Amino acid sequence: MFRLLRLKPPHGWNAVAWELGIVTLGVIIALGAQQFAQSINDRSTASETRAEVTDELQSNLMSLALRQSTEPCIRRRLDELRAIVTQWEKTGTFATPKWVSQPPMFIIELSRYDAAQSAGRLALLSRDDQYRMGTIAARLRKFDYWQTAERVQWGRLRELQFGAASLSKSDQSDSRSALQDASTLDYMAKVNAAEALPMARKFGFKPDASGFREMAPQVWAGGKFTPSICLSIDTLPEEANRRVVVPLAL
């Protein structure tokens, strides 16, 4: 018959248990230290991401604020053009405008937000932060879409500067259509800014003018925001261009 072998550690089972406990404790400490270090790194990354994205969003919100300040000029110009088109339809002619212009175009930059989202860094932020930033970013994208689309319509409206004698009946219909589209797109941009800016303030964001102050002297004479659409419709083009260093809104 075979006799069962009874294993017995040289220093006894208590010593084995002690050594296993030491090893297990070491592993737990190492894992805990790794998790602690990762937690610190994640908090640092989250803090940097929050600061970078906030800075970008607030810079873009300044563009909404500037557009909002331009709205009285845009509405006045739309009314003037509506009167011109109506006169054209009724009489077959109109007083030729010298300076139709268009609303200023603002660059909406969301590269930091998009990069943080693609890299998964936004996921390190709280759900509230993600919601707030995502909501403002979505508003800014819509504004950018509308301001880009309206440039086409204002380009069609600038044909009025050629005068009735140089335009056809189909041009008349095209001008009426462009006027309606420009008015609709302006309304969408206006409502968007009117809703987005108070919402942003509620979320803890506000327009940041620092980037605008650096850029303004390169765009507007004297560094003062003077959209060309705010000039009189009877302004000569050469005079209007002298008042704008870089004609963003011809």
Q: Which pLDDT value is given to residue 127?
A: 94
Q: Which pLDDT value is given to residue 5?
A: 54
Q: Which pLDDT value is given to residue 222?
A: 74
- Over 60: is that where the pLDDT of 3 sits? no
Q: Which pLDDT value is given to residue 223?
A: 76
Q: Give the residue-averaged pLDDT of 108-124.
A: 94
- Contact at 8 Å (CB) between 100 and 157? yes
User: pLDDT tens digit string along 236-246?
Assistant: 998 888 776 55
Question: Is the model more confident about 38 or about 82?
Answer: 82
Nearest to 237 by CA among 148, 154, 152, 158: 158
For Cα atoms 231, 235, 240, give the angle at the middle one, nearest 5 degrees. 70
User: pLDDT tens digit string along 40-91?
Assistant: 666 888 999 999 999 999 999 999 999 999 999 999 999 999 999 999 999 9
Percent of the chain with pLDDT over 90: 68
Q: Which pLDDT value is given to residue 247?
A: 42
Dihedral pair phi/psi, residue 228, rounded to 5°: -65, -25
Q: Which pLDDT value is given to residue 11?
A: 62
Confidence grade of residue 16 (pLDDT, cut at 50, 70, 90): low
Q: Which pLDDT value is given to residue 211?
A: 85
Percent of the chain with pLDDT over 70: 84
CA distance 179 to 81: 8
Buried b (16+ CB within 10 A) or exposed e, 31-42: eeeeeeeeeeee
Q: Which pLDDT value is given to residue 21?
A: 75
User: pLDDT tens digit string along 197-239?
Assistant: 999 999 999 999 988 888 778 777 677 888 999 999 999 998 8
- Contact at 8 Å (CB) between 186 and 78? yes
Q: Which pLDDT value is given to residue 239?
A: 87
CA distance 87 to 100: 16
